[in-house]
Amino acid sequence: MARPLIAEIDLDALRHNYRLACECSPESRCVAVIKADAYGHGAVACARALEGIAPAFAVACIEEALTLREAGITAPIVLLEGIFTADELAQADELGLWMAVHSDWQVEALLGQRPSRPIPVWLKVDSGMHRLGFTPERVEAVWRRLAAAPELRL
């Protein structure tokens, strides 16, 4: 028998903890990762609580980003897994999303796109888990290729 699970979040505590985490590295900017509906705590509520504090939000997929945009969240949103199909690029452009790039097909799709504005791109490096990302040996070549594209910002 499945037991119901209830998660409650104190948004004041979330803001406090976010600020505390940022203090650990004051020279850095901390992106608030709220994928998977903020790990079951409500992505929209968490984003609203952190908007104006967090410089950007991170989600796993375009559907999660769309939910935030439809709720009025205007801060930058990073797609941590990038796009899943090339046709998602038009929607990512329309929504003004940033994206991680972890595979050759994503590189090709981005280089074939003519977005309405430059797309901020994060290059994902496989640091040893062998799940997603470019090997350290390939990173520089991929970086150079993306950096040469005026429609992308790295």
What's 153's DSSP letter?
E
Would residue 103 count as lying in a domain?
A: yes
pLDDT of 154 = 87
Would residue 19 count as lying in a domain?
A: no
Q: Which domain holds residue 142?
A: 81-154
Q: For the residues 110-138, what does the mean pLDDT come to?
A: 92
Would residue 139 count as lying in a domain?
A: yes
Would residue 131 count as lying in a domain?
A: yes
**What total of structural domains would you count in the chain?**
1
Would residue 144 count as lying in a domain?
A: yes
Rounded to two decimals, the pTM is 0.90
pLDDT of 40 = 87
Would residue 15 count as lying in a domain?
A: no
Alpha helices in 24-135 (DSSP H): 35-40, 43-50, 62-70, 88-95, 104-111
Query: For residue 22, what are the contacts with CB-CB under 8 A and spacing of at least 6?
Result: 28, 30
Would residue 25 count as lying in a domain?
A: no
What band does 25 get if pLDDT is binned at 50, 70 and 90?
Answer: confident
Look at residue 110 and tell me whether its pLDDT is greater than 80: yes
139-150 pLDDT, tens digit per residue, is 999 999 999 999
Going 113 to 116 to 118 to 123, the CA torsion angle's sign is negative
